[in-house]
Amino acid sequence: MTTDNLAARTKQSNKELLTWTSSWLVSLAIVAFAPKFVWDFSPVYTLMALILNLFFGYKMIIANKRALDRMDELQRRIHFNAMAVSLGISMVFGAAYGLMEGVKLIDFEPNPSGILFVMGISYLISVFVGLRKYA
Amino acid sequence: MKNRLKVLRAERDWTQADLANALDVTRQTVNAIETGKFDPSLPLAFKAAKLFKMPIEEIFDGSDC
């Protein structure tokens, strides 16, 4: 694969990210819902769906890494900063959230998907702040 | 780090987009370097020096680093 300039590289990255992220999301939905609603918890199908989900997840990670490699140095800095902020916030939030049920601040079991939500939102906000900072 | 990118660009009647294209970076990156918000890497500084056919120290002033 040869990509000439930044615009072409960005286009290529967006295409790959769209393909693999949407594939991963669809496969995740299949793993979550298909065993109950489609194949009545057949372990063979569930395992196949899980393997497919992990494969798409791997491709999505590689697509993200390639997208970072194809960025220019300022874009890369903005995204690295956002990753650092997102990781830190998720760690702090995750630790506190995990303790909340034990110390009777909440009466439901903490859901790990809440941390994914915080991670995604904090990443998006950090990228936006970075873009504003260097605008 | 101070630099003369804006002056050199203006002398050639280039837009930020023209310079960004020549350096293979975004226009935002050119703007951030020109305004001193972002210091370029050594490879990018060399690329600019090559583009303007000037020694790197005539474009970038590293005295305050």
- Alpha helix locations (H) across A38-112? 43-70, 73-100
In the predicted structure, residue A111 carries a pLDDT above the cut 60: yes
Shared domain check, A102 and A64: no
Calculate mean pLDDT across residues A17-42.
97
pLDDT at residue A2 tops 50 = no
Alpha-carbon gap: B54 to the closest alpha carbon of chain A (Å): 22
**Do residues A66 and A77 both lie within one domain?**
no
Nearest CA in chain A to B20: A6
The last residue of a domain, from among A51, A71, A91: A71
Structural domain harbouring A59 = 1-71
Clarify whether residues A12 and A61 are in a common domain.
Answer: yes
Averaged pLDDT, B23-29: 96
Q: Which residues of B touch A (CB under 8 A)?
A: 20-21, 24-26, 28-29, 31-32, 37-38, 40-41, 44
What are the backbone dihedrals phi and psi of residue B60, each rounded to the nearest 5 degrees, phi first? -110, 130
Asked if A31 and A70 count as a contact pair (C-beta separation under 8 A), the reply is no
- The 8 Å CB, 24+ separation contacts for A45-48 are none
Q: Is the pLDDT of residue A114 over 90?
A: no
Chain B residue with CA closest to A133: the answer is B37
Q: What is the mean pLDDT of residues B13-26?
A: 96
Same domain, A82 and A34: no
Q: How far is A107 from chain B (nearest CA, A)?
A: 48
Q: For all residues of chain A together, what is the average pLDDT? A: 94
Q: How many CB atoms lie within 10 A of CB B50?
A: 11
Q: Output the pLDDT for position A13.
A: 97
Q: Give CA–CA dist B24/A8, Å, rounded.
A: 11
pLDDT grade, residue A66 (50/70/90)? very high
Mutant choice from B5, B23, B29, B42 vs A, greatest count of A C-beta within 10 A? B29
In this predicted structure, what is the pLDDT of residue A64? Answer: 97
In this structure, the answer to whether residues A109 and A47 fall within a common structural domain is no
CATH domain B2-52 topology: 434 Repressor (Amino-terminal Domain) (1.10.260)
Q: Do A54 and A92 belong together in one domain?
A: no
- Residues above pLDDT 70, as percent of chain B: 98
Q: Does position A3 have pLDDT exceeding 80, yes or no?
A: no
A24 & A49 share domain: yes
Q: What is the mean pLDDT of residues B40-64?
A: 93
